Amino acid sequence: MKKYLFIAVTVIILAVVSYFAFVYYVPYSEGVRSGELIKISHKGVVMKTWEGELSQGITGAQIFKFSVSSKRKDVIDKLKEYQGAYVKLNYEERYTTFSWWGDTKYFITEVKLEKSPHFNN
């Protein structure tokens, strides 16, 4: 009986660890989006996460919501600096997320300042 209980507990633990490892290390997709950075905030009561929004059109209908890993201090600093500017964001889309990671499945990996196509300077 103890042998079967040990095997069952081991299988459950391996399944949970495998699920978390898959979600953490395997991105669903990777991409690039450009637009005006309209929001970056550190929000939450118990688990603080970095969240932002990128406007991809003239109207407010095309908003790309994203999260930033707290480990990415360089990305967070650039997002704060480029607030209100036209930027290009590289991101990874995850299969799912957890509340301590962020609100969205899109996680920013790199930020670059871009010239806006709406203004000819």
Q: DSSP characters for 90-117?
A: EEEE-S---TTT-SSSEEEEEEEE---T
Distance of CA 5 to the CA centre of its chain: 39
Interatomic CA distance for residues 59 and 3, integer angstroms:
63
pLDDT for 102 equals 85
Percent of the chain with pLDDT over 90: 60
The CATH architecture to which 27-113 belongs is Beta Barrel (2.40)
pLDDT for 41 equals 94
pLDDT for 39 equals 92
- In the beta sheet, which residues pair with residue 92? 30, 107
pLDDT tens digits, 94-111 = 888 877 888 899 999 999
- At 59, the pLDDT band (50, 70, 90 cuts) reads low
pLDDT for 95 equals 86
Distance of CA 107 to the CA centre of its chain: 2
Task: Locate the domains of the chain by residue range.
Answer: 27-113
Q: What is the pTM for the complete model shown?
A: 0.79
CA-derived radius of gyration, the chain: 19
